[in-house]
A and B are shown apart, each in its own frame.
Chain A
């Protein structure tokens, strides 16, 4: 009970501090050329009280304090300590408190770390960030209080959704939020800089590190979610174009485009409109994602509760922020780029601009695919499901020019360029096409499009690989990220083209055999753990190459709430993953067995890590 009280009143105090910060900001904005120490102290205090509130919720979960409604709804005494702690953010109220924690953390760090920028800019950034923070305080206190009290106190909780009881998913939300919510500081600072008309090359250098922080965490957060979905959801894929995945991909696409625009702004003082619109878009899409997954308008693992009041609050708040941004953009921003700067067709900035348009196209496809079912249902009461084929058909063909531009763009110079090293450019292209054809010639399926796609990805791969030797440490961060991207596309393509799958029903003791693979269902065992019981199926699988493996996929029956999940057994090697998952066939002795060989899975994860590593190198380079 004491933690409920401390946690709740910490939130109320945090809200009061937020409101008082508006007053101090107003006073400081008009009367001084230095940042009032009260502002810094109050911002720290606000962070402190949100941390206290967050710790109270964690303690409530750790000690299984079921007088707290959030703990009662999402925890259980039999849950391991690790999942009791991670359960703090594995629900609507706790995750919103984490949102607030990241919001307050970022504005505090921003004020402490920002040097050599006008005081008025810092104050205005604080004001815009406080609008968001106060909005979230009100949202938490009014509709999503994590410290609601229950009486009489239940003796046991309802438990956490078993598929959320996983190490990758325990750290996925905090990492994702650092990127997702971290983009709020970019949003606030761009509104401040636009209002004060101080968008310049020095501002670009200053905001770039915040964009990088947000981008790195968002990339890693998406990766963790994808890894979790791969082994936990039991379908063996890493990206399903589920709306919940899409809402994290959209801010990433906007943020990646913004990162490239900020480089141009930093060097040439152009693309200011792009920077402003993308900064606003990134955070708006983050908020929009929160609305889509929390309002109940979409059904997913992340839809913790369907409460129209919550959905309406986020919706109204989201559109207040959008309209505020539109007003500031149109009222304060005057775009002089086109009058004073002409883009030569062959230059670095033109290539970045072209790829920006491609990224915006990809973003539009994902956005339409995600929200169109909602629109259609409201307008015509028709229910449709937009699945992977829609995205593949609209995105994949445009990846080809996108990859080619990624390969050639970095070779170009600013302002006006000429194609240097033409021999290398052409010879690498020919090698890539030949290599792709040789790899694919035995596969008759879609050989033309697959050859072109793999050639484009190989071309980017070879060009960036060459740059490691030619340019050495020059543009090393960009080179690492682009190299990682080429590796990602290649791994995804090879994974899709060369993957194989066997789906069969087997009884214990039976064998499945085809021309390449033999699956022996040897035995079943049982396992009892604190929070679940499991049936373990033991398989012996051999193939034509003489490779032999033993697999033990599980069917787990969690005790609270009572839910069955399939736990895949995965054997990972450098070149491929062997993935097996079982399900029980209703009222029969048969087990449904799904065995997949998925080439280059490890490389998909490694390439995303490499992409983020490029961002980390860029961040550290700037700091040094």
Chain B
């Protein structure tokens, strides 16, 4: 009896995991890591220290 309960329990557990993963697929990207690697291009305007030349974001893009 004990020998039959163990495999049956393992299969039930994995069945539940399968169901949860399957449902999770319906709503993709539900977990978003803290580190956002895609940065927005900032708008900026600054000067080179020695030459005094303007550096604008619009001229770089």
Residues of A within 8 A of B (CB): 163, 233, 235, 240, 242-243, 291, 295-301, 303, 306, 308, 311-312, 315, 319, 322-323, 326-327, 330, 373-375, 377-379, 383, 385, 387, 507-509, 522-526, 533, 535, 557, 562-566, 583-589, 591
Whether B39 pairs with A564 at a CB distance below 8 angstroms is yes
Whether B21 pairs with A297 at a CB distance below 8 angstroms is yes
Contacts of B48 in A (CB 8 A): 508, 523-525
Whether A308 pairs with B25 at a CB distance below 8 angstroms is yes
Contacts of B37 in A (CB 8 A): 163, 233, 301, 565
Whether B46 pairs with A297 at a CB distance below 8 angstroms is no
Whether B29 pairs with A306 at a CB distance below 8 angstroms is yes
Specify the chain B residue showing the minimal Cβ separation from A379.
B20
Whether A242 pairs with B33 at a CB distance below 8 angstroms is yes
Contacts of B29 in A (CB 8 A): 296-299, 303, 306
Specify the chain A residue showing the minimal Cβ separation from B19.
A378
Contacts of A373 in B (CB 8 A): 30-31
B6 at the interface (CB under 8 A from A): yes
Contact among A297, A327, A330, A591 for B6, CB-based, below 8 A: A330
**A295-B25, A300-B33 are contacts. A585–B49 as well, Cβ < 8 Å?**
no
Q: How far is the CB of B19 from chain A (nearest CB, A)?
A: 9
Those of B42-61 within 8 Å (CB) of chain A:
42-50, 55, 57, 60-61
Q: How far is the CB of A22 from chain B (nearest CB, A)?
A: 26
Specify the chain B residue showing the minimal Cβ separation from A295.
B25
Q: How far is the CB of A544 from chain B (nearest CB, A)?
A: 26
Contacts of B32 in A (CB 8 A): 299, 385
Q: How far is the CB of B29 from chain A (nearest CB, A)?
A: 4
Contacts of B6 in A (CB 8 A): 330
**A299-B29, A524-B55, A526-B60 are contacts. A235–B21 as well, Cβ < 8 Å?**
no
Specify the chain B residue showing the minimal Cβ separation from A309.
B25
Q: How far is the CB of B41 from chain A (nearest CB, A)?
A: 5
Q: Can you sample 22 A-B contacts with CB below 8 Å?
A: A242-B33, A243-B33, A296-B25, A297-B25, A297-B31, A311-B25, A315-B25, A326-B11, A327-B7, A373-B30, A383-B30, A387-B34, A524-B46, A524-B49, A563-B41, A565-B39, A583-B39, A584-B44, A585-B44, A586-B43, A589-B44, A591-B46
Contact among B3, B20, B42 for A584, CB-based, below 8 A: B42
Q: How long is the Cα–Cα vector from A507 to B48 in the complex, in angstroms?
A: 11
Q: How far is the CB of B3 from chain A (nearest CB, A)?
A: 8
Contacts of B41 in A (CB 8 A): 557, 562-564
Contacts of B20 in A (CB 8 A): 374-375, 378-379
B38 at the interface (CB under 8 A from A): yes
19 further contact pairs, Cβ within 8 A, besides A374-B30, A385-B34, A564-B39: A163-B37, A233-B35, A298-B30, A299-B33, A308-B28, A315-B18, A315-B25, A322-B14, A330-B6, A330-B7, A387-B34, A508-B47, A523-B48, A535-B55, A557-B61, A565-B37, A565-B39, A566-B39, A589-B44
Q: How long is the Cα–Cα vector from A301 to B50 in the complex, in angstroms?
A: 39
Contact among A374, A522, A562 for B49, CB-based, below 8 A: A522
List of 10 A-B pairs having minimum Cβ-Cβ separation, nearest first:
A296-B28, A523-B49, A330-B7, A584-B42, A299-B29, A378-B23, A311-B25, A306-B28, A374-B24, A373-B31
Q: How far is the CB of B12 from chain A (nearest CB, A)?
A: 11
Contacts of B34 in A (CB 8 A): 240, 385, 387
Contacts of A509 in B (CB 8 A): 49
Contacts of A587 in B (CB 8 A): 42-44
Whether B22 pairs with A315 at a CB distance below 8 angstroms is yes
Contacts of A585 in B (CB 8 A): 42, 44
Specify the chain A residue showing the minimal Cβ separation from B27.
A377
Whether B14 pairs with A535 at a CB distance below 8 angstroms is no
Whether B24 pairs with A297 at a CB distance below 8 angstroms is yes
Give the one of B7, B14, B39 with max A CB within 10 A: B39
Whether A374 pairs with B31 at a CB distance below 8 angstroms is yes
Q: How far is the CB of A294 from chain B (nearest CB, A)?
A: 11
**A524-B55, A557-B60 are contacts. A588–B49 as well, Cβ < 8 Å?**
no
Whether A319 pairs with B18 at a CB distance below 8 angstroms is yes
**A163-B37, A319-B14, A383-B30 are contacts. A312–B22 as well, Cβ < 8 Å?**
yes
Contacts of A322 in B (CB 8 A): 14
Whether B11 pairs with A323 at a CB distance below 8 angstroms is yes
Q: How long is the Cα–Cα vector from A300 to B37 in the complex, in angstroms?
A: 9
Contacts of A507 in B (CB 8 A): 46
Whether B7 pairs with A589 at a CB distance below 8 angstroms is no
B10 at the interface (CB under 8 A from A): yes
Whether B35 pairs with A240 at a CB distance below 8 angstroms is yes
Contacts of A291 in B (CB 8 A): 21
Specify the chain A residue showing the minimal Cβ separation from B44.
A584
Whether A378 pairs with B24 at a CB distance below 8 angstroms is yes
Q: How long is the Cα–Cα vector from A163 to B37 in the complex, in angstroms?
A: 8
Contacts of B42 in A (CB 8 A): 564, 584-587
Q: How far is the CB of B39 from chain A (nearest CB, A)?
A: 5
Q: How long is the Cα–Cα vector from A240 to B24 in the complex, in angstroms?
A: 23
Whether B21 pairs with A315 at a CB distance below 8 angstroms is yes
Whether A243 pairs with B31 at a CB distance below 8 angstroms is yes
Contact among B23, B35, B55 for A526, CB-based, below 8 A: B55
Whether B60 pairs with A533 at a CB distance below 8 angstroms is yes
Contacts of B10 in A (CB 8 A): 326, 330
Whether B31 pairs with A523 at a CB distance below 8 angstroms is no
Contacts of B27 in A (CB 8 A): 377
Q: How long is the Cα–Cα vector from A404 to B36 in the complex, in angstroms?
A: 39
Q: How long is the Cα–Cα vector from A31 to B31 in the complex, in angstroms?
A: 53
Specify the chain B residue showing the minimal Cβ separation from A330.
B7
Q: How far is the CB of B15 from chain A (nearest CB, A)?
A: 8
Specify the chain B residue showing the minimal Cβ separation from A163.
B37
Give the one of A242, A298, A312 with max B CB within 10 A: A298
Q: How long is the Cα–Cα vector from A585 to B42 in the complex, in angstroms?
A: 7
Contact among A327, A374, A526 for B21, CB-based, below 8 A: A374
Whether A242 pairs with B28 at a CB distance below 8 angstroms is no
Q: How long is the Cα–Cα vector from A377 to B20 in the complex, in angstroms?
A: 9
